[in-house]
Chain A
């Protein structure tokens, strides 16, 4: 029997449909793989083995009774631990929620279940999705399958590392400023941040409500498209969700053709600060797209320079409010309730003990930025910058179908390298943040290995809101061109575990 953990989701789904493998067998293979390799990697916080095998058996039973099944029925998936899901803790990588079991399922979890997918467990993340390395998880870092001394990106390092190490063919991530794309870039996998509002946020524990967006993590562009199709669509429980048909991303991923498309290189997302090997792989990838018939032009987005500054005002502001509810009153950690302490004292002691340093830093930043007398100068000004960045994108998309850049300026850095330098950590997201601020969509896929360290570099494709299909069309074309060149998928270069 083939090793089903090496199969793409699309191939596994086909094998399941053809009866070559059962969902129970495929699920067990992945559970065994997790058991075997996740110790040092630590991609998972919770493995829901029992529930996974139960739902796999149910899918098999229904399939054998002749029922028509969905495209990904029986395929295992990992879910970032920021999504509310019954039957297991949802921790958000925080001590505050270490034992919290939600009494409800996130819409995205409902959709995975409706698609008959099998949830393997919940993946590690920076606390409340704040970070670019997964080192800010209260439950210990996740390590990069390419090099265990290196970070897997963040905040969704668990999801990308799980996919990169064949512990799951697919995973759910969330992306507030790059938390799907940057981990994809540094682990040599694919990650997509859909258009804001394309995937319901109901049940996604909010970091920054106006920026958060859930999306797929996978090893191939087509696999992300299949997952995208399963999770996207209007949800009346999320007022910000888009009430319009989802673009046909699966068809786009199968139509790997860029001829006649105009691709814009964003001048501001290159040059200084970008690792030479990352820049080299990026340029080669652009050349491949040109060879495949794309028209490549350079565009300027002058306000991108201010994106990081605006982002680090808007995100902490919203986060300071979103994270207020962790007050020990109704759920989660409670510290200092000795029968004599006041409500304020218990709230304060709980938050002091429960939040990690990065969370506290951003809560303080946001509280300050929203304060009376500072609001206009900080939050108000950041909103204006946000508008200008959206305008820059709009102008660029008048000329271009998609924009491209390296996803992250560097390959994976070493654990601990940037922990004491928040600003250096924040700079990891310099190329991914503008898309979140504008509410547009973007994808990261591997462009090759940087020559100086032999680690994966990421290639970012950006498209206008509700034009997510363009990402898949260009992504699939580039993926196929690169694999033609390499002769195999990049992940096969990774150390075998």
Chain B
């Protein structure tokens, strides 16, 4: 196996210009599949959401899901695309066991939407720059089944002992969004790739047509990149798959540019191929070569009639589009008075709706962000999901924040309340009652604990009296310990200082 020298990114950019192309697959959140009535619920037992149509049994026929067409039109309109007045499905023919019919119903030279763009805010050292990414096409197709390869070293079909197929996913509506080549982004290229996918995800999510979860595969990205010396014709591109997070988009592009630079520096040529991103190493590995490119023998799908959305339908969809996320983002960012970076963090965490709703309940923006980006994000992460999956509502966050304002809870107790709520133990009040999480606000009880602490720590008291006010922390800590944390630390401090006659 030949190993190629990796050229560090900054050095690679001194000799080469990258050109990007991104293909994003979005699984639509329709109740039924693209061409049959089977449900689309994620995580159902294998092969329980199937029928003769999505299993490709002999004699079965597809019927187009109208909601999926409408969702695709919505995505196309939101991406400023032209909507074709007439288009067809096509068959993409290839043999593979995850493909029940051994052809995929897709769209080929007649996509539903084409020629759009998305303005993408890209974070730079000096703030944010807007990069316009042009959209080549948005088309409809059906997902494949899911293969699980058992045994073998690679986790791929070659070398596996056996493979299992789950056709629950087969036939789920997919929308493929393909960019035109993105040029001139230079050293920003990996960031542009990441920011594009992020902005696209936000846009599609705002339309309510998909939950766009990269970790569940409902948004998948293939990252194409080529490099060439400045001013030269574009180089040979590679397509990197298995890019399953926003961070991976950026890493995969960066690492692939570094690898290609090494290949070109050595005088060799880049092979046009599919590569796989390895999350663990941050590198890409070679997949199947496209030099012997498969011939998919596309032809118009004869089992389906053309899709011809009328103008009234398109305009109805256009009228029902929600506020553009970029506009909304700018609006909210101004309202909240936060930086580009802070706003981007909220968006990348998938917490924008939740933070907005929490603020709408009367909570300060900083506090709302603190909870959703902090403790609640941690809880969601532990549970292996995102904050949206958490059984905690913005109203509950607002309620707990209110209790803190009243001094009924401190930060530590509030966190425990959320742990309980997230674990399904009930409302905040129920969790507080069940675990006895209310703060000790009884002055007499606190004063008793303070007196105990003073008595037990005479040398600390001496230091405080000698002007080392900071030393009081040890006394406060002792009081908190004695009250098992259920005291308002600020109140303890006030009472302690009064007791010691320090102010």
Residues on A close to B: CB < 8 A?
Answer: 83-84, 90, 92, 97, 100, 102-104, 106, 201-206, 208-210, 236-240, 317-318, 320-321, 324-327, 329-331, 342-344, 347, 367, 370-372, 375, 379
Chain B residue at minimum C-beta to C-beta distance from A94: B58
B63 touching A379 by the CB < 8 A rule?
Answer: no
Chain A residue at minimum C-beta to C-beta distance from B159: A342
Given contacts A103-B52, A239-B64, A321-B297, contact A205 B59 (CB under 8 A): yes
B58 touching A102 by the CB < 8 A rule?
Answer: yes
A329 touching B63 by the CB < 8 A rule?
Answer: no
Query: What A residues does B58 contact at CB under 8 A?
Result: 84, 90, 92, 97, 100, 102, 205-206, 325-326, 331
Query: What A residues does B295 contact at CB under 8 A?
Result: 371-372
B255 CB to nearest A CB, Å: 31
Query: What B residues does A372 contact at CB under 8 A?
Result: 295, 297
B95 touching A324 by the CB < 8 A rule?
Answer: yes
Residues on B close to A: CB < 8 A?
Answer: 52, 55-64, 91, 93, 95, 97, 100-103, 157-158, 163, 165, 295, 297-299, 302-305
A343 touching B63 by the CB < 8 A rule?
Answer: no
Query: What A residues does B157 contact at CB under 8 A?
Result: 343
- Sorted nearest first, the 5 A-B pairs with minimum C-beta distance are A324-B102, A370-B297, A209-B302, A210-B302, A84-B59
B61 touching A321 by the CB < 8 A rule?
Answer: no
Chain B residue at minimum C-beta to C-beta distance from A103: B52
Query: What B residues does A320 contact at CB under 8 A?
Result: 93, 297
A121 CB to nearest B CB, Å: 18
B55 touching A330 by the CB < 8 A rule?
Answer: yes
Query: What B residues does A238 contact at CB under 8 A?
Result: 61, 63
Query: What A residues does B63 contact at CB under 8 A?
Result: 236-239
Q: List 22 A-B contacts (CB under 8 A).
A: A90-B59, A100-B58, A104-B60, A106-B59, A201-B61, A206-B303, A209-B302, A238-B63, A240-B304, A320-B297, A324-B102, A325-B56, A325-B100, A325-B102, A327-B97, A327-B102, A329-B165, A342-B158, A347-B95, A367-B297, A370-B299, A375-B299
**Other A-B pairs beyond A240-B303, A343-B97, A372-B295, 19, CB < 8 Å:** A84-B59, A90-B59, A104-B59, A106-B59, A201-B61, A202-B60, A202-B61, A203-B59, A203-B60, A205-B58, A238-B63, A240-B304, A318-B302, A324-B102, A325-B100, A327-B97, A330-B57, A330-B100, A371-B297
A370 touching B102 by the CB < 8 A rule?
Answer: no
A103 touching B57 by the CB < 8 A rule?
Answer: yes
B93 touching A83 by the CB < 8 A rule?
Answer: no
B59 touching A330 by the CB < 8 A rule?
Answer: no
B52 touching A104 by the CB < 8 A rule?
Answer: yes
B59 touching A202 by the CB < 8 A rule?
Answer: yes
Query: What A residues does B95 contact at CB under 8 A?
Result: 324, 327, 344, 347
Chain B residue at minimum C-beta to C-beta distance from A314: B302
Partner of B101, one of A90, A208, A324, A342: A324
- Distance in angstroms between the alpha carbons of A318 and B299 in the assembled complex: 9
- Distance in angstroms between the alpha carbons of A204 and B303 in the assembled complex: 12
A295 CB to nearest B CB, Å: 37
- Distance in angstroms between the alpha carbons of A331 and B298 in the assembled complex: 25
A23 CB to nearest B CB, Å: 28
- Distance in angstroms between the alpha carbons of A205 and B57 in the assembled complex: 9
- Distance in angstroms between the alpha carbons of A367 and B93 in the assembled complex: 10
A102 touching B302 by the CB < 8 A rule?
Answer: no
Query: What B residues does A317 contact at CB under 8 A?
Result: 299
B97 touching A321 by the CB < 8 A rule?
Answer: no
Which of B62, B102, B297, B303 has its CB near the most chain A CB atoms (within 10 A)?
Answer: B297
A325 touching B101 by the CB < 8 A rule?
Answer: yes
B232 CB to nearest A CB, Å: 28
B61 touching A104 by the CB < 8 A rule?
Answer: no
B146 CB to nearest A CB, Å: 14
A197 CB to nearest B CB, Å: 10
Given contacts A329-B165, A370-B297, A372-B295, contact A206 B59 (CB under 8 A): yes
Chain A residue at minimum C-beta to C-beta distance from B102: A324
A102 touching B299 by the CB < 8 A rule?
Answer: no
Query: What A residues does B302 contact at CB under 8 A?
Result: 208-210, 240, 318
Chain A residue at minimum C-beta to C-beta distance from B96: A343
Chain A residue at minimum C-beta to C-beta distance from B50: A330
B57 touching A102 by the CB < 8 A rule?
Answer: yes
Chain B residue at minimum C-beta to C-beta distance from A351: B95
Given contacts A104-B52, A344-B95, contact A204 B101 (CB under 8 A): no
A190 CB to nearest B CB, Å: 26
A199 CB to nearest B CB, Å: 13
A92 CB to nearest B CB, Å: 7
Which of B158, B163, B295, B304 has its CB near the most chain A CB atoms (within 10 A)?
Answer: B295
Partner of B163, one of A92, A205, A343: A343
- Distance in angstroms between the alpha carbons of A446 and B299 in the assembled complex: 39
A239 touching B61 by the CB < 8 A rule?
Answer: yes
Query: What A residues does B303 contact at CB under 8 A?
Result: 206, 209, 239-240
B144 CB to nearest A CB, Å: 13
Chain B residue at minimum C-beta to C-beta distance from A326: B58
Query: What B residues does A331 contact at CB under 8 A?
Result: 57-58
Query: What B residues does A343 contact at CB under 8 A?
Result: 97, 157, 163
Query: What A residues does B93 contact at CB under 8 A?
Result: 320-321, 324, 370
- Distance in angstroms between the alpha carbons of A203 and B61 in the assembled complex: 8
A270 CB to nearest B CB, Å: 31
Chain B residue at minimum C-beta to C-beta distance from A105: B59
- Distance in angstroms between the alpha carbons of A343 and B165 in the assembled complex: 12
A239 touching B304 by the CB < 8 A rule?
Answer: yes
A334 CB to nearest B CB, Å: 12
Partner of A321, one of B60, B91, B100, B305: B91
Query: What B residues does A371 contact at CB under 8 A?
Result: 295, 297
Query: What B residues does A379 contact at CB under 8 A?
Result: 299
- Distance in angstroms between the alpha carbons of A209 and B60 in the assembled complex: 11
- Distance in angstroms between the alpha carbons of A203 and B59 in the assembled complex: 4
A259 CB to nearest B CB, Å: 39
Query: What B residues does A330 contact at CB under 8 A?
Result: 55-57, 100
Query: What B residues does A210 contact at CB under 8 A?
Result: 302
B158 CB to nearest A CB, Å: 8
Query: What B residues does A103 contact at CB under 8 A?
Result: 52, 57
Chain B residue at minimum C-beta to C-beta distance from A235: B61
B62 touching A239 by the CB < 8 A rule?
Answer: yes
Query: What A residues does B59 contact at CB under 8 A?
Result: 83-84, 90, 102, 104, 106, 202-206
Query: What B residues does A209 contact at CB under 8 A?
Result: 302-303
Which of A331, A370, A371 has its CB near the most chain B CB atoms (within 10 A)?
Answer: A370
B305 touching A239 by the CB < 8 A rule?
Answer: yes
Chain A residue at minimum C-beta to C-beta distance from B296: A372
- Distance in angstroms between the alpha carbons of A205 and B165 in the assembled complex: 24
- Distance in angstroms between the alpha carbons of A284 and B436 in the assembled complex: 104
Query: What B residues does A92 contact at CB under 8 A?
Result: 58
A321 touching B57 by the CB < 8 A rule?
Answer: no
B57 touching A104 by the CB < 8 A rule?
Answer: yes
Chain B residue at minimum C-beta to C-beta distance from A104: B52
Query: What A residues does B165 contact at CB under 8 A?
Result: 329
Chain A residue at minimum C-beta to C-beta distance from B62: A239
- Distance in angstroms between the alpha carbons of A100 and B59 in the assembled complex: 12
- Distance in angstroms between the alpha carbons of A210 and B295 in the assembled complex: 23
Chain B residue at minimum C-beta to C-beta distance from A329: B97
Chain B residue at minimum C-beta to C-beta distance from A318: B302
B299 CB to nearest A CB, Å: 6
B61 CB to nearest A CB, Å: 5
- Distance in angstroms between the alpha carbons of A210 and B52 in the assembled complex: 20
Query: What B residues does A202 contact at CB under 8 A?
Result: 59-61
- Distance in angstroms between the alpha carbons of A184 and B64 in the assembled complex: 36
- Distance in angstroms between the alpha carbons of A250 and B166 in the assembled complex: 48
Chain B residue at minimum C-beta to C-beta distance from A203: B59
- Distance in angstroms between the alpha carbons of A149 and B209 in the assembled complex: 63
Query: What B residues does A84 contact at CB under 8 A?
Result: 52, 57-59
Query: What B residues does A239 contact at CB under 8 A?
Result: 61-64, 303-305
Query: What A residues does B103 contact at CB under 8 A?
Result: 321, 324
A305 CB to nearest B CB, Å: 24
B56 CB to nearest A CB, Å: 5
- Distance in angstroms between the alpha carbons of A92 and B52 in the assembled complex: 17
A355 CB to nearest B CB, Å: 14
